[in-house]
Structure 1
Amino acid sequence: MGAFLEKPKTDKHNEHGCGNGLHFGVASMQGWRVEMEDAHCAVTGLGEELQDWSFFAVFDGHAGARVSAHCAEHLLECIVQTEEFRHDDIIKGIRSGFLHLDDRMRELPELASGEDKSGSTAVCALISPRQVYVANCGDSRAVLCRSGEPVFATRDHKPVLPSEKERIIRAGGSVMIQRVNGSLAVSRALGDYEYKNVEGRGPCEQLVSPEPEVSVMDRDEEQDEFLVLACDGVWDVMSNADLCDFVRSRLALTNDLENIANQVVDTCLYKGSRDNMSIVLVTFPGVPQPSTEAIQRETELEATIERRITEIVRQGDRVEFVHVLQTLSDDEIPGLPPGGGLSAKRNFIESVYKKLCPNQADSQCVPTTVLLPATRCLAPKEQSK
């Protein structure tokens, strides 16, 4: 069972950078989890022969952070050093890199002894001047937004998928409560060696497979806008379309990708995510630019919210923050960020409330589910992977 804190840790780790015509922003947050088990990697320029290539990845660890941290440090080198990659068979090179990393990592002392039983999902993108290669192993996800639409998304590897379930059963396992042997919530991952010991079967035929699904897309310089890579703490509460709509709406206000990535994880927290959250946002040359009209609309929205909060707190001597949130959600305020809704303005609401009611209780303790009735169907995960 997963372990949770009494209140979420909302401090964020951020990175940003640019190169090869790409810009990226990173945000990760521990949230309600007792440990932070996510890791990531973002590199533009991969050395002399691959200077015009870039690499981005998100790793969602479970049962510890050892495997996710090791993968973040070594997956790229494992891929580019394969014979297949060196001979321009990129798809096979990526697959071989995953398998080689998983095999090599098994020999780490703490993993070999069984003392550390951690594992990690992995989703990564290798971006060349002409193509985008995306690989996924587990239930972290990558989504490409082109011309305002999510035109590509990786497939989450869950034990209930027919092909995954068939492999698990053939390896002598079972799928119970949508988990491998009733325990692990993903059917593919790096690490997790206690699920990879079936004799007579190859690495991709085990209960849990380290094999990635690899896709390639030709780049469209004019229409490609951005690529999102994120762990399931984000996707648990946002659909592909919701996240693309939300990111596009924020790009109309700012080109600060760290800021946008922070807004994504904050919004997911307030939508009810109970998991660690990490996102890498990569923009292409065709990304939408901030507009004066969008900035004006956002200013007007915040003025409307502030006026309404002022009206609410003046209705009584001691109006609690939870009452303010519930009243605002009942108001159905127009012009809220698409895909984010009122949850996307939670920090702004809190800042206004604290200004008007500086002596009230800590608003972080307010249940996130009071914000939007529509998010209540997106139940927080009560079990760890």
Structure 2
Amino acid sequence: MRTARRASNVEVPSFLRQLVKETEKMVTFFFKGGSREAGSPDEDNLDEEDALPSPYLERPILEKHTSEGGNDLGLNYAVASMQGWRAQMEDAHTCMSQLRGDLEDWAYFAVFDGHAGITVAQYCSKNLLDHILATGGIKANEDPEQVKEGIREGFLKIDSHMHKLSREDSWERSGTTAAGVLISPRHIYFINCGDSRTLLCHDGQVVFYTEDHKPFNPREKERIQNAGGSVTLQRINGSLAVSRALGDFDFKEADWRPQTEQLVSPEPEVYKLERTPEDEFLILACDGVWDAIGNEELCAFVRNRMQVCDDLRDICAQVIDLCLYKGSLDNISIIIVCFPGAPQVSQEALQQEAELEHQIDVKVEGDFLYIGLNLIRPGVHMREHHILGYITTVGNSAKLGPCDYICRGLAQILRGKVNTPNVSFKKTMTLFFYQK
């Protein structure tokens, strides 16, 4: 029986994880000589064009790009992506519900989370499958060990090819993670290189998920140190936060070492699971999702949505909104792949959803009215209020920003500055939260 790999029971709030990540980047920049003491002559004379560009926007780009598809064998999928707070969109993806020729009953899906540029992620989204198929290991008369070796060899070949192209064509020094699945009539092959992640759900439970490749993992750290590097601030040489990736050729310059023994390895981990009638759906997503929400929570959320919504694109978009609400500052991309055993829309679930929506509307309007009449002021300190999922920790001063945004929006509504005849109170508050 398949069992999920269990993580720690300690759940670190997403905003705290993001704060740690950004602090690491600032400290890394300092150690590289990029930071100056406050008030120094060099800093006073620093031209605007010399300032380090921010990786984040003042306001998130909320436009979502979605698509869907399927095949005649009961496999359906949807994908959605959003730039979010990042200054550039560096995610890419591939969705093929039906391969060509003798592999017409096979499918392939992958997400690529680029960093330091989009070039490698885009190239892999267009060409990685071709490199895998060119190895000859993927055949209609399936041999699982040959399939796994073909996937591994395909990764090494495309990475070597891109390394050559980067030298000839002066590519930007970007890299990408890769999380994918190759689905045959009998098996699911999970493919992972980096810290994007894939999980499989049965009956609302995670039964399998891939493990992130991080520099502080003992096996990864040993390889990095053997290659002459170090792990500082949980990053390779204080810089790169993933230990396996395609591209990132600045970390692959030791020509006398095999590809798999460089500071950053392009070798994927490949796991094979037999398909069963209990298979419900797969989720493939970049770390813009996983930094904000855990495996079990996302699995339960998606399954719940499937029982009240028959549009997979809408469910993907709802996941993106959820991650944004929970503090994700990264690009966000997600693919949901449904098997024949996936949950269907239920009338009972629809009725429960309508009743819950009504209860939430009444409760939220009452809470906001109370807050609006008694607590509208900058820096309000809220305790024991859970408002639209934004304030989830009791008395946490780190949540004052969202509180201020909500209260400013509420103040305008109470003063009659906003007319919302056809928009629910909840959605109006959401709109204010993201326009500020």
Bin for the TM-score computed over the shorter chain: 0.7 to 0.9
Worse-superposed segment, 267-276 or 79-88? 79-88
* 1:48-127 matches, cutoff 5 A: 48-86=101-139, 88=143, 89-109=146-166, 112=168, 114-127=170-183
Pick aligned residue for 2:184 from 128, 150, 154 = 128
Worse-superposed segment, 143-152 or 265-274? 143-152
Pick aligned residue for 2:434 from 364, 367, 379 = 364
* 1:289-304 matches, cutoff 5 A: 289-304=344-359
Q: Percent identity?
A: 48
Q: Is the 8 A contact 2:364 2:426 kept in 1?
A: no
One-letter amino acid matched to 1:16: E
Distance of 2:424 and 2:91 partners within structure 1: 32
Q: Which runs of 5+ in 2 are unaligned?
A: 1-24, 26-53, 390-401, 411-419
Q: CA deviation at 1:294?
A: 1.1
Cα distance per residue 1:178-206 (max 9 Å; x no partner): 00010000000000000001132100000
Distance of 1:328 and 1:246 partners within structure 2: 24
Q: CA deviation at 1:105?
A: 1.2
Q: Which residue is 2:276 aligned to?
A: 220
Q: Is the 8 A contact 2:79 2:313 kept in 1?
A: yes
One-letter amino acid matched to 1:105: M
* 1:19-30 matches, cutoff 5 A: 19=71, 20-30=73-83
Q: CA deviation at 1:243?
A: 0.8
Pick aligned residue for 2:70 from 6, 10, 18 = 18
* 1:279-318 matches, cutoff 5 A: 279-312=334-367, 314-315=369-370, 316=372
Distance of 1:321 and 1:98 partners within structure 2: 55
Q: Is the 8 A contact 2:361 2:426 kept in 1?
A: no
Q: Which residue is 2:425 aligned to?
A: 353
> What secondary structure, in the 3-state scheme, does the structure 2 residue paired with 1:85 have?
coil
Q: Which residue is 2:312 aligned to?
A: 257
Distance 1:331 1:106, change over 3 A: closer
Worse-superposed segment, 296-305 or 132-141? 296-305
> What secondary structure, in the 3-state scheme, does the structure 2 residue paired with 1:15 have?
strand
Structure with the larger strand share: 1
> What secondary structure, in the 3-state scheme, does the structure 2 residue paired with 1:184 have?
coil
Q: Which runs of 5+ in 1 are unaligned?
A: 334-342, 367-385
Cα distance per residue 1:9-32 (max 9 Å; x no partner): 111110100113200010111111
Pick aligned residue for 1:273 from 328, 331, 338 = 328
Verify: 1:3 aligned to 2:50, yes or no: no
- TM-score, L = length of structure 1: 0.84
Distance 1:354 1:224, change over 3 A: closer
Pick aligned residue for 1:199 from 251, 255, 277 = 255
Q: CA deviation at 1:322?
A: 10
Distance 1:327 1:288, change over 3 A: farther
Q: CA deviation at 1:148?
A: 2.5
One-letter amino acid matched to 1:72: S
> What secondary structure, in the 3-state scheme, does the structure 2 residue paired with 1:107 have?
helix
Q: Is the 8 A contact 1:321 1:353 kept in 2?
A: no
Q: Which residue is 1:186 aligned to?
A: 242
Q: CA deviation at 1:173?
A: 0.6
One-letter amino acid matched to 2:160: D
One-letter amino acid matched to 2:424: V
Distance 1:322 1:26, change over 3 A: farther
One-letter amino acid matched to 2:66: N
Worse-superposed segment, 73-82 or 305-314? 305-314
Distance of 1:292 and 1:257 partners within structure 2: 18
> What secondary structure, in the 3-state scheme, does the structure 1 residue paired with 2:280 have?
strand
Q: CA deviation at 1:130?
A: 0.9
Distance of 1:361 and 1:47 partners within structure 2: 44
Distance of 2:378 and 2:363 partners within structure 1: 15
Q: Is the 8 A contact 1:85 1:92 kept in 2?
A: no
Distance of 1:306 and 1:198 partners within structure 2: 60
Distance 1:6 1:43, change over 3 A: same
Q: Which residue is 2:290 aligned to?
A: 235
Cα distance per residue 1:18-49 (max 9 Å; x no partner): 11320001011111100000000100111111
One-letter amino acid matched to 2:61: K
Distance of 1:168 and 1:258 partners within structure 2: 40
Distance of 1:355 and 1:208 partners within structure 2: 44
One-letter amino acid matched to 1:352: S
Verify: 1:35 aligned to 2:88, yes or no: yes
Distance 1:153 1:254, change over 3 A: same
Q: Which residue is 1:378 aligned to?
A: none
Distance of 1:321 and 1:229 partners within structure 2: 42
One-letter amino acid matched to 1:153: Y
One-letter amino acid matched to 1:92: E
One-letter amino acid matched to 1:29: M
Distance 1:302 1:319, change over 3 A: farther
Instruction: Indicate the RMSD between aligned Cα atoms, in angstroms.
Output: 3.0
Distance 1:9 1:330, change over 3 A: same
Pick aligned residue for 1:47 from 91, 94, 100 = 100
| Bigger-Rg structure (1/2) | 2
> What secondary structure, in the 3-state scheme, does the structure 1 residue paired with 2:164 have?
coil
One-letter amino acid matched to 2:109: F
